[in-house]
Amino acid sequence: MATNNHKSNRNTVKLGVFGFGCVGQGLHQVLNATRGINADIKKICIKDGRKKRSLPTALFTTDGDEILNDPEIDIVVELIDDSEAAYEIVKSALQKRKAVVSANKKMIAEKLPELYKLQQKYNTPLLYEASCCASIPIIRNLEEYYDNDLLNSVEGIFNGSTNYILSSVFNEGLTFEKALTQAQELGFTESDPVLDLEGFDPVYKTSIVILHTFGLFIPPEEIFHYGIQNLNAFDIEVARKRGATIKLISKCAKKDGKVYAYCLPKFVNGNSPLSKVDEEYNGIVLESCFAENQFFVGKGAGAQPTGSAVISDISALTYQYKYEYKKISQKNGYEPGNNINLKVYMRYRPYASIDLTRFRTITEKYSSSDGSYVIGTINLKDLWYYKQIDEADLNMVLLEEV
């Protein structure tokens, strides 16, 4: 676990931070209030040098090399909202043997194999706890606690902003638009809200979680995902009549040596612990072979909850922690495979006819001037067909795996 390359034996760790938006400012606030960690921000690189900042101007730069080439800076903290620029920063920092902390789930998920190799090649750690479910310590738990246990599945609410929107709609009767505006005002959404609404954000996290659970690199574009962008009043009424709420659920699991994964809206009833996870909270249910279920809950977005996960990684670096990617070296022989049947609700334009031949069975069919839907069993692989139709009047919600 030890790494010799970053200079953690100094009294005060010097941080070079990229980004001073929601999370960057959260990091600054949490760092100021944390007595147990001996770290100082030496420089902050931002994009727009003309913006007014809450800290002295001398602390800021628009030239990233001032951080990357500063031999006094031990740890680079990458908190920007541009995944391509973020990768260049992280790569360069690792090449210069500076330990890195990042919260950028898009960049990490899209570049996991490269980031893994860079860490090995330069023997320098990259930690990214804040990238998955913000304040919930899931990655370090998967790496450390679950090393010897055989995990069957990880399922949960991985996206704080859509959960905030869904719980405002279901619990407070807000319109979808009003709930989205509130989530944006509170800093819970990504700069581009499509990443949240269409389920990209949770699928990035799922890709990262798969690596730390099953040791597989499954790129985000290979994981089926469908967001809440097409949810309407009709779907909400259907959920209410079923005594359920709708949550955007991400899951990865193993079955017969294969690992499948998806991210889908799901009807969740009161029996599931996830039904009580509201607002910007995230929840994760881990199912293990011998310990049954364990449930983690915590804030999944926002300045200070995310900032506190970043601080935890900085602190871990001061005692030479690094991910060992133990599941990769365990060589358990898992392969990706999406041969799993799901019971799905599919709503489409009233009285329209859609090709339902991909459904294996249909158990319920409804048609009215407000909406038409079927409920039936379909293979996960066949759901891609309906996603690609991309009709604004189509929506799908998972009921259960069958």
User: Can you tell me whether residue 123 is helix, strand or coil?
Assistant: coil
Active site residue 205: yes
Minimum Å gap between C-beta 83 and ligand NAP is: 7
Among 16, 24, 125, 227, binds ligand NAP (CB under 6 A): 24
Assign residue 235 a region: left if phi > 0, alpha if psi is -120 to 50, beta otherwise?
Answer: alpha
Nearest by Cα to 195 from 282, 321, 104:
104
Long-range contacts of 32-35 (CB under 8 A, 24+ apart): 34/311
**Residue of 125, 215, 283, 302 that binds ligand NAP (CB under 6 A):** 302
Q: Cα(208)–Cα(206) distance, rounded to whole angstroms?
A: 5
Count of chain residues binding ligand NAP (CB under 6 A): 30
80 contact partners, CB below 8 Å, separation of at least 6: 18, 19, 21, 47, 86, 89, 104
**Residue facing ligand NAP at closest CB distance:** 21
- Residue of 43, 205, 254, 322 marked catalytic: 205
Contact (Cβ atoms closer than 8 angstroms) between residue 134 and residue 205: no
**For residue 106, which phi and psi values (nearest 5 degrees)?**
-65, -50
Instruction: State which residue, 63 or 324, has the beta carbon closest to ligand NAP.
Output: 63
- Retrieve residue 241's tokens: 């009549």
Nearest approach, Cβ of residue 181 and ligand NAP (Å): 16
Which residue of 15, 17, 22, 231 would you call a contact of ligand NAP, by CB under 6 A?
Answer: 22
Between CA 69 and CA 89 the distance in angstroms is: 12
C-alpha 334/C-alpha 280 separation (Å) is 33
Among 206, 306, 312, 372, binds ligand NAP (CB under 6 A): 306
Distance CA(362)–CA(13), nearest Å, equals 61
Q: Which C-beta is closer to ligand NAP: that of 45 or that of 76?
A: 45
Among residues 387, 309, 16, the alpha carbon closest in space to that of 139 is found at 309
Give the shortest CB-128-to-ligand NAP separation in angstroms: 9
Nearer to ligand NAP, 134 or 394 (CB): 134
Distance from C-alpha of 34 to C-alpha of 201, rounded to nearest angstrom: 29
Q: Is 48 in the site for ligand NAP (CB under 6 A)?
A: yes
Amino acid making up residue 67? I
Shortest Å distance, C-beta 80 to ligand NAP: 4
Residue 109: CB minimum distance to ligand NAP, A:
11
When binding is defined by CB under 6 A, the residue of 37, 59, 85, 354 that contacts ligand NAP is 85
| Part in contact with ligand NAP (CB under 6 A); list of ranges 1-9, 75-83, 121-129, 367-375 | 75-83
Considering the rule CB under 6 A, would residue 67 count as an interface residue with ligand NAP? Answer: no
For ligand NAP, which is the closer residue by CB, 181 or 320?
181
Q: Which stretch binds ligand NAP (CB under 6 A): 185-193, 223-231, 252-260, 378-386?
A: 185-193
Task: Indicate the residue among 29 and 367 with the shorter CB distance to ligand NAP.
Answer: 29
Binding mask 98-137 for ligand NAP (x = CB under 6 A): -----xxx------------------------xx--x---
User: Are the C-beta atoms of residues 262 and 220 closer than 8 Å to each other?
Assistant: no
Q: Does 190 bind ligand NAP (CB under 6 A)?
A: yes
Stretch that binds ligand NAP, among 184-192, 221-229, 328-336, 382-390 (CB under 6 A): 184-192
**CA–CA–CA angle 314, 320, 326 (5° rounding):** 100
**Integer Rg of the chain from CA:** 22
Q: Which amino acid is at 325?
A: Y
Q: Which string of x and - marks every residue 191-230 that binds ligand NAP (by CB under 6 A)?
A: x---------------------------------------
State the nearest-atom distance from the C-beta of 207 to ligand NAP, in Å: 14
Query: CB within 8 A of 155, min separation 6: which ones?
Result: 249, 250, 251, 252, 253, 274, 284, 285, 287
CB of 186 to ligand NAP, least distance (A): 9
Q: Give me the active site residues, please.
A: 205
Name the residues that contact ligand NAP, by CB under 6 A: 18-24, 45-48, 51, 79-82, 85, 103-105, 130-131, 134, 187-188, 190-191, 301-302, 306
